[in-house]
Structure 1
Amino acid sequence: MMELPDYCQLWDETYTRALEGKLSPGDTEDSFWSNQENVDRFVKHLLNKKGGRIEDNIASMHIPPGSTVLDIGAGPGTLAVPLASAGCRVTTIEPSIPMGEAMEHYRQHMQAPPISEIRKRWENVTPQEAGLHDYVIASRSLMFGNLRENMLKMGTKKLIEAALEAAMEKGAAVEYINIAKLNFKGCLGCNECKKDQTKFCCLKDDMSDLYAKLNEADVILLGSPVFSAI
């Protein structure tokens, strides 16, 4: 029987190779984005820009003035500053101190309103710190290593737990199942499930234990991180 690859491991390996092609010996991802020479290059590009991709991206988002916007991986303010200038209330998540300083320089240059900043890697930001926003944007910032570990510690679990707690207060019997810790095999296209619909899938993995739970449940609440990158 064909075994599916560990996609988290494939992600991590691909991510590592991508970094190796970008980083100098001895560098880390954090040091790369905090390297003043790299930051200065980004700022120079912003200050010398003559229209084009950035403006097109912002226009395509159709974010109305007055909206609250969370910009993940804001860098030197490539999107955050123009959005603030357009009347949006912007909060940024950017771990690099030099990038944050560069964004402030760019903001002042553009005479944009103040921007709230969260100085952390985005996968370490709690829902309480991030707050609620009308729009969340991310540009080239959704890559990180240790995929399985980081996905487990992000905020979706906390949101699900809050919903389950509310259901229990109403008298519901609930069960939380973290499928990130389970092992599922891919469909083989054998059609065994269609030959006898009283039987479950012929593959014997962790899904076998879930079929009865799914059949018995009155309500199934699914939670998954959702990313929107431009």
Structure 2
Amino acid sequence: MLTIHQFPCLSDNYGYLLHDTDSHETVAIDTPDAQEYLKQAELKGWRITQIWNTHWHPDHAGGNKAIVEATGATIVAPQEVERISSIDRVVAHGDTVSIGAHTAHVIDVSGHTNGHVAFHLPDAGIAFVGDSVFALGCGRMFEGEPQQFWDSLSRIRALPGETMLYCAHEYTASNAKFASHADPDNAALAAYVEEIAAKRAKDEPTVPTQLARELDTNPFLRADDPVLAAKWGGSTPAETFAALRAGKDNF
């Protein structure tokens, strides 16, 4: 059985430890804060055996070296992580990785960075998506292009609706403000925003989020919706996505 331990770290990151109770393997999903990951693993009585990086940014791969030195864990990552860390196994779209008897499919979700990947475990109904998509948002387009990023989001959209998306940051309250601006007549979004406000008022996490709900409310996943195209412009979903991303960047 798989268990996910989620905990806050740095200023707004979430750390994830994925543990298999049968094999006793534990995967660190990204490594924003090595000491916090090691502390949390110790508190759970787990030993980190693998690291799965989603992309190269330091708040996702910066703790690799320290965790490997402490545990001997193996690093599984896209090629771009070599910018800041050695890698034991390079993975790309279409590859699979495993924890015990559980298989994760590697999905290209580039756009935030050009090598960004997500890890989808279909039997568990979960996906670790890094900074590609957030609750009511998506990552900044630091390295990619609009069509590339839209294609990546389309791969996420194609996952089963019940999939729980484990995003890397608690950005939801900020994202909700822009989403409400971008899509003001969306009743499902309005209800979601109220729930988010109530959770954050109690300092509760808004992550993970269910894909089906994001498909109804997240403007970046709905760039092919005629309502958003009419409001934001663009003759293709990628162009509408680009307009939405630029709008968020300047919001």
- Fold shared, TM-score > 0.5 on shorter chain: no
TM-score (norm 1): 0.30
Larger strand proportion of the pair:
2
Structure with greater contact order relative to length (CA < 8 Å, sep ≥ 6)? 1
Larger helix proportion of the pair:
1
TM-score (norm 2): 0.28
Which is greater in Rg?
Answer: 1
